[in-house]
Structure 1
Amino acid sequence: MRYLNKSLLALSCVASLLGACDIEDTYDVLDIEVPAGYELSAGTSTLFVRSSKAYDMPASWVTGTYNSRFNSGDGLYDDVRTSGNTDGGGLGPVYAGYSCGSCHRNAGRTTPTLWTEGGTGSTGFSSMLVYVSRKNGAFFRDYGRVLHDQAIYGVEPEGKLHVDWRYETFEFPRRADWNGGFFKS
């Protein structure tokens, strides 16, 4: 009888532990066949979608609690950051954009205006971060890390970006001409 009581106690403990698991907090890992030498950009969350909505949708396995968290994060990304938005809003005198999505359109799947307009875009945003630093890598005290190309009314932005470039045809040196990373003389 004593052995039976210990067995029942152990079984009831195991059953209660299994029953305590929240089914919403688990997920199944999908097996996706990947050729040797290749990797998926987001592991099992990789979407094989080429449209502008590719970064704006959850993976097929994201359900329940994880889907709610994804949608909350997606909303935060698109929320306008103004002083009227009490959930983390507010713009300083200079700013990079009024929301993450204002610069990184289509949830980040965008072409930087550096390539389309040669710098700061016609909408006022460069769609890319431009880091300003000294030659030694230190940041300028008054500017921080990012060149802010927008500002509130009455305040000048830190600057606008304009880049000129030219294309040139060239060839890399042959491997035989290298000597530990230096050209042979």
Structure 2
Amino acid sequence: MRRAFLLGTLLLWTTGCGEDAPGAPPPPPRAGGEMTVDDRTSLAFMQPAANLLAENDRKHRDGDSAFEAIFVPSPSPVNPGLGPVYNNTSCNSCHLRNGRGMPVMGPGPQRTQLLVRVSLPDGTPEHPGGAVPVPGLGLQVQDQANYGVKPEASVTLSWDETTGSYPDGSPYSLRAPRVAIVPTDGSALPAGMLVSLRLPPPVFGLGLLEAVDIATLQAMADPDDRDRDGISGRVNEVWNVVTRTLTPGRFGWKANSPNLKQQSAEAYFNDMGISSPLFPEPDGTHELEAKTLDAAVFYAQSLGVPARTALDDAEVQQGERLFRSLGCVQCHREELTTGEHEVKEVAHQRIHPYTDLLLHDMGPGLADGRPDGAATGTEWRTPPLWGLGLTHTVLPFTGFLHDGRARSIEEAILWHGGEAEKAREGFRALKAAERAALLRFLGSL
């Protein structure tokens, strides 16, 4: 009798306490939906999705091998095709542990993982929707070369430092990069050459971002700022090399690639000098096998997203409220839903990437002056913030923003301008404890 009473009491207590029960708190946000992994170590960005199907485990591991493969000059029985000029020898060389690159690699000469995009300010592009290549440099400066070959140019990096202070008197310091490009053939750089520094971005979670419907992006866009809130995000239009048409872009610092396959093929071609089915040699042949390209793409699509931490921490919760009240979520959208996708694991997921994948005018402070597709010289795509707090755990000396100028999340905020100027000034006006709370929240992502 006592057992029946206890069982009945237990059933009464649990009734209505499920996820759908009235008044029950919502479940904690899972950054990558079912792809979320509970890992906050230096290997957090390297984990396969938690929901990876058994039949895709081998594909993911093959992709991991492709991502780490070191290429060498032809002829070679293994991984041929490097160069003759290039920036790096593998995908992993730019995205160490699947994180972002380092603006400066250790002490001594300022060797950098920044990619230097260049183009001419006017002229006739060689293909529709393309930028105008610089004679001798093309569209990206390759500062490395195979034995016996000269690189296109040497690239050195220095920094201009400025100081400022918050209204409460607390000081801060910001730095901006200065790049020097010296062609190895002794030629002069063309007048007005456009230069844009690009830090290799993190690799994880990209499959989920690819699975967000174009209609969702277009619904968030407000290019004419019809609601007069000062935020006018828009979708980039970029050249799709497969369909030979202009299509919406979503990957890269200016949303200048339409999908992961093209972005990966562009990296092989521009960063390693390796031709592929998407970017073949003039005679139609290519060095990279189609299966290797597909494997590398699947690896990026099937990586998990690290879970948030400290959800119950009062300071983190305060910082999250401030993040919302300052209007940061107008661009760094908290929640998106994915649609149909050929990779089942990424389809129909409720995710929290903190991005709208749209272009926004970030003001003159961050401007590179170089158009990319339909993106202007002051526009940048909103970067996702998931995993932000693990950036220096994964790679301690990397930087933030498109060119790695920000040494901390705080510096990154202080560089915001244009459409984000109001939010930046709101951050500057906070009390020191409130600024600390907001930064603690961002560190929990």
**Class of the TM-score when normalised by the shorter of the 2 chains:** 0.5 to 0.7
Within the candidate set 45, 64, 71, 1:55 is matched to 45
Identity %: 28
TM-score for both structures, normalised by structure 2: 0.26
Equivalent residue letter for 1:101: N
Measure the CA separation in 2 of the matches of 1:84 and 1:52.
36
Change (3 A) 1:167 1:144: same
Conserved 8 A contact 2:69-2:79: no
Tell me by how many angstroms 1:103 deviates.
Answer: 2.3
Segments of 5+ residues of structure 2 without an aligned counterpart are 1-26, 123-130, 167-229, 231-417, 419-445
Q: Is the 8 A contact 2:105 2:113 kept in 1?
A: no
TM-superposition CA deviations, 1:55-99 (whole Å, max 9, x none): 222022113122212111111010111236546531121111111
Is the 2:71–2:89 contact (alpha carbons within 8 Å) kept by the matching residues of 1?
A: yes
Give the number of aligned pairs.
Answer: 133
- Report whether the alignment pairs 1:103 with 2:103: no
AA matched with 2:160: W
2:162 is paired with a residue whose SS is: coil
Q: CA deviation at 1:44?
A: 3.1
CA–CA separation in structure 2 for the residues paired with 1:117 and 1:135 = 35
2:116 — aligned with what? 130
151, 154, 163: which one aligns with 1:157: 151
- Supply the distance in 2 between the matched residues of 1:48 and 1:95 (Cα, whole angstroms): 37
Matched, 1:93 2:79: no
Counterpart CA distance in 2 for 1:117 and 1:95 is 23
TM-score of the two chains, using structure 1 as the length reference: 0.56
**What letter matches 2:161 in structure 1?**
R
Q: In 1, are the aligned partners of 2:68 and 2:91 still within 8 Å (CA)?
A: yes
**Offset at residue 105 of structure 1 (A):** 1.3
Higher relative contact order (CA 8 A, sep 6+): 2
Paired with 2:108 and 2:100, the residues of 1 have a C-alpha distance of 15
8 A contact 2:46–2:97 mirrored in 1? yes
| Structure 1 residues 33 and 84, CA gap change in structure 2 (3 angstroms) | farther
Match of 1:145 among 139, 143, 157: 139
CA shift in 2, pair 1:104/1:120, >3 Å = farther
Aligned to 1:5: none
Q: Distance in 1 between matches of 2:138 and 2:165?
A: 37
Q: How many Å separate the matches in 2 of 1:99 and 1:86?
A: 17
Judging by fraction of residues, say which structure has more strand.
2
Q: 1:25-104 to 2 correspondence within 5 Å?
A: 33-34=28-29, 40=31, 42-82=32-72, 83=74, 86=77, 89-104=80-95
> Match for 1:167: what amino acid?
T
Structure with higher Rg: it is 1
1:125-174 C-alpha deviation (Å, 9 max, x unpaired):
x2232212234553325423322221112222222231322132167xxx
Gaps of 5+ in 1: 1-31, 172-179
Whole-angstrom distance in 1 between the partners of 2:108 and 2:162: 14
Q: Aligned to 1:160, what secondary structure does the other structure show?
A: strand
Is the contact between residue 118 and residue 163 of structure 1 (CA under 8 Å) also seen in structure 2?
no
The reply on whether 1:168 has 2:158 as its aligned counterpart is no
Change beyond 3 A, Cα 1:115–1:100: closer
For residues 43 and 130 of structure 1, the distance between their equivalents in structure 2, rounded to whole angstroms, comes to 35
- CA–CA distance in structure 2, aligned partners of residues 119 and 147 of structure 1: 18
